[in-house]
Amino acid sequence: MVEPQTHEQTSEAYVGQPIEIGTDTAVVELATTAEMAVDETGLVHGGFVYGAADYAAMLAVNEPTVVLTGSAVTYPNPTRVGETVRATATVVDSDPRPSVEVTAELTETDAVVLSGTFDCAVPADPVLS
Domain locations in the chain as residue ranges: 12-121
What is the model's pLDDT at position 95? 78
Residue 121 banded pLDDT, cuts 50, 70, 90: very high
Rg (CA), the chain: 14
Task: Return d(Cα 13, Cα 108) in angstroms, integer.
Answer: 17
- The pTM for the full model equals 0.95
Task: Return d(Cα 123, Cα 106) in angstroms, integer.
Answer: 27
The CATH number of domain 12-121 is 3.20.20.70: no
Angle made by CA atoms 118, 36, 72, in degrees to the nearest 5: 15
What is the model's pLDDT at position 98? 84
Interval 59-115: pLDDT, tens: 999 999 999 999 999 999 999 999 999 999 999 998 777 889 999 999 998 899 999
User: CA-CA-CA-CA torsion for 56, 61, 66, 67, nearest 10 degrees?
Assistant: -50
